[in-house]
Chains A and B, each alone.
Chain A
C-alpha cells in the first residue's frame, strides 16, 4: 500500500543529465566551462552562488556534452595508450581501446584521503594477502572533470592535495608500503555558497576562473527555468530529443575549437604583442599577485578566440574573459564591501580607456 513503482522516467534521468544548451541564462558560467573544455590548462573553475542557481546542473550537463574519450579497455586510470607509466596498463597490457564518456566525478564532502588518492586494496589485502593499489577518485577523474560541491566546506588538507594534483597532473601515493604514481589530469570545478564560509586566498588563486552567479531575477527567465526543468523531469526522453540538435552543435563547436588549438601549437596562430601588453597592464592595474593571473587571462582569451574561430586574440577577447580570470585574484581587504566584479570592470574601463 502506498508504495509506487519507480517512475518510468527515473531510468532515463540516471543516465541523461539535463542538456547543457537548455540551461537558461548563466552565460558566464557556461562560457567558463566551455573554455576549460577547450584548454584544460586554464585550470579549475570556481562557482560561488546561492542555492538552486543551477551550479551542479551545469557541471553535470557538461559531461554529457563533451565528446567521449578513447581509453584502454579496463584501465581504471583512463589511459589513452597502453604506456608503461600507467600502473594498470603496464601489467595488464590491454590491447583494445574503448570509448567512454568524459568522466565527471563527484567528490563528496567528507571524502577521506584514501578515497581521493586511492589506497591499499582492502579486499585483496585481507582475503588474499596481496598488496594491491585501489585507485581513488583522482584516477577516475583523469582526462575529465572533478566536481566538488561546497568546496568551501571541504577540509583544507584535501583541497590542498587536490590543487597540487590538479597543477602537476600526477597523483603520487607513498604510504602503507605502496609507491604508486599515475596521471591525474583533470579540470577541478568547485562550487559553494559564500554565506557558509570562504576559501583561503591561497586556494582561491589556484583556480583558473571564478564566477559569481545568482538566480535569474527576471520573471520571464525564472518561468522559463521552471518550464524547462519541469519538462525535463516529466518527460525526459522527449525533452532530450528536443535539445539534442543544439547540444550537438555546441559539441561540434568545442571539438572544432580543440582541433584549432592543437593545430595552432605550431605558429599559424599569433598572439599580438599588444595583447600581451594589455594583459600585463590590466593585472598591474588590479594589483593581482603573481603571474598566474596573466597566464590564465591569456589562455582563456586564446581559448575564446579558438572557440569563435578568430584569426588572432584581440583586446575584445581579453575584456570578455577578464572578470572571470581575475576577480578572485585581487588582493583584497577581507572587509572591503565593493564586489570584485565591479573592481575588475572598473579597472578594464580605466586601463583601456573606454
Chain B
C-alpha cells in the first residue's frame, strides 16, 4: 500500500469488510453531521432504529393495537432476531444506556444484526462508549467536505469471501504485533485487537489469501486501531490522570519499555497508510474525550416511571408508558354488552378498544445535581484554592451519600470549562478536582454563564440543579475575554441577573483571604446564600452549604 488511504477509501473498505463478516465486526460508528448517503447505499438494505425504539420492536412481543383489533394475540418479530440484516441507529449520540446495553448484549452473544451507528453529535455528545467499543470501525466524516457523489464501493466477491473466512489462518506473529500495537497506541480494551484481527481476516478472505498478510493487518490497524489511539508511540502522555496512576499500572510501564523497541514495522506501515496528520488528529481528539470522561449516563432520565402513583389517564401505549390494566378493564366493562351486539363473532372474550387504554402515572422527586463553579484564577489560587478544593471534597462526599449527582465547572484565564459533566462517579470528580490548576484572570461572567447553561441542561433532563459558586468576586475579565476590570464587573452582574432568572438554589462561597465586598455584592445580586470561607474549617462550610441549599 503506497498511497495513504483517504477517508473516503477508509469508508469503502469498512463497508466491504463489514459485508464480509457482519457478525464478527459488530458494525460501524459514523460521526457525521451530514447523512453519509453513499456509505448507507453501499451497505445495502437495513432496518432503522432510533434512541426511542422500544423493547417490543427489538425483541418482538405483543403488538397491542393489532391484538385488540384482531381479538387474538398478534406478535411482532424482534429486530434483533434477524441475523443477516443490519440495523441503522440514527441519532446514536442520543441513545441511552437502556438501548445501547441491549444492543451490546446482542453483539456479545454473536447474534443479531450488525449495527451502523449514525452519530450526529456536536462536541461532547457521542455514542455510548460501551457500544462504541464493540463496533469495529470508527469513522469520523465531519471533516469530509464536498458534495460530489462517491463512487460505489466494489461489492463483488463478498459472498465467496464470507465462505472462506473460517479458513484464513492468523499467524502468531500477526497476533503478537496487533496486541503490541494496540498497547503502543494506549488502547486498553482487549476487544479492540480482537476486532482488528477479524477485520484483517475479512480483508485476507476478500483478497483470496489463506493467511493474514502484513498488508491485511496494516489495513485493519488503520481502520480499527488508529481511530481509537490515545497515545502516539514515542510520546509520553502529558497527564497520566486519565488511566490509573502510573505506579500501580504495570501496563503503562511495560508499554514504555516496549516503546524503546525501535523497529515497529506495523506501526510505520499504519502511519504510512493514513493520511498525513490523521493519527495525531485522532490522538488529540480522543485525549480530549478521555479527559472529559465517560458520559454521565446515569444523569439521563427518560421520564417519570416510578414514584408515588397518580390516577391513571387515557393515552397511547408506547415505549415509555405502562398500561394500568385494572383501569383499562374497568373502562371497557360497561361497553361489553353493546360491543358484543355490534360484533357478535369477535373471538375475544373481552372487547377492548384502543381508547379504553389507561396509562399509569407516577410522581417522582427528581435527582438533584450539584453544580460547583470554581474560580481557579490567580487571585483565588494564591489564597484559598487548596482550601476550596478541600471543602468541595467534603461536599462531594456528602453528595455521594445522598446520591446526588455532581458537576464541576472551572473558570480561569479567558473562559470557563466544564471539567466534569453531571456524574455520580466520585472517583472522577475527585480526579478532576485534584488536577485543577490555578492561575490567570477571573472571567466571572463566563463562569456564571457556564453554570447557568449547565443548570438549564440539567433541568431539561428532568433533574433539579443547584449551583455553588466559589469565588472572591473580583471579576477582571470581560465576557468576551478582554482584561477590563470595570467592564468585567458589569458583565458579571449582567450574567448574575440572568442566572437568578433560572430560579435555582444558589450559594456563593467567598474564597478571598478575608470577606470581599464584591463577593457579598454578587451574592446579593444572585439572591444567594453568602458564606465567607471561614479559616481552615471545611466542615463548617460544607454544613453551611448543605443548609443553604436545603432551603
Contacts and interface: CB of A to CB of B under 8 A. Distances in A.
Interface of A: 1-10, 13-14, 50-54, 56, 60, 106, 108-110, 112-114, 120, 122-123, 125-129, 149-150, 152-153, 155-157, 176-177, 193-198, 200, 215-219, 222-223, 225-227, 229-230, 233-235, 333-335, 339
Q: Is the interface of B mostly helix, strand, loop or mixed?
A: helix
A318 B426 CA distance: 32
A50 B178 CA distance: 20
Contacts of A234: 165-166, 168, 170, 201
A229 B111 CA distance: 16
Given A3-B45, A198-B400, 17 more contacts: A2-B42, A7-B23, A52-B189, A52-B190, A108-B98, A109-B97, A122-B62, A126-B68, A149-B104, A195-B427, A195-B428, A197-B298, A197-B423, A334-B396, A334-B400, A335-B393, A335-B396
B540 interface: no
Contact of A51 (B189, B305, B397): B189
B162 A229 contact: no
A135 to B, nearest CB: 15
B109 interface: yes
A179 to B, nearest CB: 14
Nearest to B45: A3
A230 B329 CA distance: 54
A227 B158 contact: no
Contact of A227 (B15, B104, B175): B175
10 A-B pairs closest in CB distance: A110-B98, A52-B189, A129-B350, A217-B251, A13-B110, A4-B162, A52-B191, A2-B155, A109-B101, A197-B424
B517 interface: no
Given A198-B424, A198-B425, A215-B190, A226 B62 contact: no
Contacts of A126: 64, 67-68, 348, 350, 352
A9 B393 contact: no
Interface stretch (B192-200, B371-379, B436-444): B192-200
B325 A1 contact: no
A220 to B, nearest CB: 9
B326 A9 contact: no
A219 B183 contact: yes
Contacts of B68: 126
Contacts of B166: 7-9, 234-235
B348 A128 contact: yes
B4 interface: no
A112 B305 contact: yes
Contact of A10 (B111, B133, B175): B111
Interface centre among A4, A14, A334 (most CB of B within 10 A): A4
Given A112-B305, A196-B298, A219-B179, A125 B329 contact: yes
B254 A153 contact: no
A338 to B, nearest CB: 11
B102 interface: yes
Interface of B: 15, 19-24, 42-45, 62, 64, 67-68, 71-73, 83-84, 96-99, 101-102, 104-105, 108-111, 129-130, 133, 155, 158-159, 162, 165-166, 168, 170, 172, 175-176, 178-180, 183, 188-194, 197-198, 201, 248-251, 254, 258, 293-294, 296-298, 305-306, 322-323, 325-326, 329, 348-350, 352, 393, 396-397, 400-401, 403, 423-428, 430
Nearest to A16: B110
B98 A127 contact: no
B127 to A, nearest CB: 13
A50 B325 contact: no
A153 B430 CA distance: 19
A50 B101 contact: no
B151 to A, nearest CB: 15
Given A5-B162, A122-B323, A215-B189, A233 B24 contact: yes
Contact of B294 (A195, A200, A223, A233): A195
B111 A13 contact: yes
A153 B97 contact: yes
Contact of B180 (A13, A217, A219, A235): A219
A335 B400 CA distance: 10
Nearest to A149: B101
A296 B104 CA distance: 33
A219 B325 CA distance: 57
B129 to A, nearest CB: 7
Contacts of A4: 19-22, 84, 158-159, 162
B489 to A, nearest CB: 36
B44 A233 contact: no
Contact of A153 (B178, B179, B298): B298
A3 B46 CA distance: 10
Contacts of A334: 396-397, 400-401, 426
B425 A7 contact: no
